[in-house]
Amino acid sequence: DAGITQSPRHKVTETGTPVTLRCHQTENHRYMYWYRQDPGHGLRLIHYSYGVKDTDKGEVSDGYSVSRSKTEDFLLTLESATSSQTSVYFCAIREDITGSPLHFGNGTRLTVT
Amino acid sequence: EDQVTQSPEALRLQEGESSSLNCSYTVSGLRGLFWYRQDPGKGPEFLFTLYSAGEEKEKERLKATLTKKESFLHITAPKPEDSATYLCALMMNTGFQKLVFGTGTRLLVSP
């Protein structure tokens, strides 16, 4: 299994509160990604990182920010959680972008009440 | 717009009953296609990469094939442990970072 750890695995929070999800990898891969998975939708990209301090937006980035201060850690922050952000969040890593696949963590289930 | 459609949404098979899952797409330029397996409560697990029409990859009871418009995941003599959701994802010639995922096929194999 790819060495990816997501924390927490489950979280319940209230609308309007900030939330940070953590992804930690032991593979030393350059590329890291945050996706959300919702019923009826494919996995959708929130943000990605192509190196320490280098990040970019994905297709559903509104309301989310990310940070990567070390190769192994990629943080996703919901600045002010809303009910529409209730979802399962997956972190993924990738060795290169020319053809290697993404490898996923086991996700964080977030419920915003 | 790049699109991917997986069918059927759900499939129920008896153990040993072979079948195929479909991933059809309309994209401007395909660089590669990935197949993943996802178990409940887990992240997607990588199965195969296909790069060009005519290519085939096999692993145990699974075989993935690719044409210019679609990919198939053939499951031969499935077992209950093959029950999972199977996802396909497209990597385009432009924007390598941004894979386009299908919504998956939920496979249930009964003993």
Report the pLDDT averaged over residues A86-108. Answer: 94
| Cα atoms in the Cβ-side hemisphere of radius 13 Å centred on A57 | 7
- CB contact (8 A) between residue A103 and residue B46: yes
Which one of A34, A54, A102, A108 makes the best mutation probe of the B interface by having the most chain B beta carbons within 10 Å? A102
Strand B62-66 relative to strand B70-75: parallel, antiparallel, unpaired?
antiparallel
Amino acid at B81: E
CA distance B29 to B90: 10
With beta carbons under 8 A apart, name residues in chain B contacting A107: 41-43
Chain B segment 23-52 residues within 8 A of A by beta carbon are 31-32, 34, 36, 41-46, 49, 51
- CB contact (8 A) between residue B99 and residue A58: no
* Confidence at residue A107, expressed as pLDDT on a 0 to 100 scale: 98
* Confidence at residue B12, expressed as pLDDT on a 0 to 100 scale: 98
CA distance A89 to A105: 9
* Among candidates A40, A98, A104 on the partner chain, residue whose Cβ is nearest the Cβ of B96: A98
Percent share of chain A, pLDDT over 70: 98
With beta carbons under 8 A apart, name residues in chain A contacting B31: 99
Q: Could you tell me where the beta strands, DSSP code E, fall in B1-111? A: 3-7, 10-14, 19-26, 30-38, 45-50, 56-59, 62-66, 70-75, 84-92, 100-101, 105-110
- CB contact (8 A) between residue B46 and residue A102: yes
pLDDT digits (tens, 9 = 90+) for B28-86: 888 899 999 999 999 999 999 999 999 999 999 999 999 999 999 999 999 999 999 99
- CB contact (8 A) between residue A90 and residue B44: yes
Cα-Cα-Cα-Cα dihedral sign, residues B29, B31, B35, B38 = negative
| Whole-number Cα distances in Å, B7 to B17, B68, B85, B87, B106 | 18, 17, 12, 10, 10
pLDDT digits (tens, 9 = 90+) for A31-72: 999 999 999 898 999 999 999 999 999 999 999 999 999 999
Instruction: Please tell me if residue B13 touches chain A, with a CB cutoff of 8 Å.
Output: no
Q: Does residue B95 register a pLDDT over 80?
A: no
- CB contact (8 A) between residue B99 and residue A45: yes
Environment class of A113 (CB within 10 Å of its CB; exposed 0-12, middle 13-18, buried 19+): exposed
* Confidence at residue A1, expressed as pLDDT on a 0 to 100 scale: 56
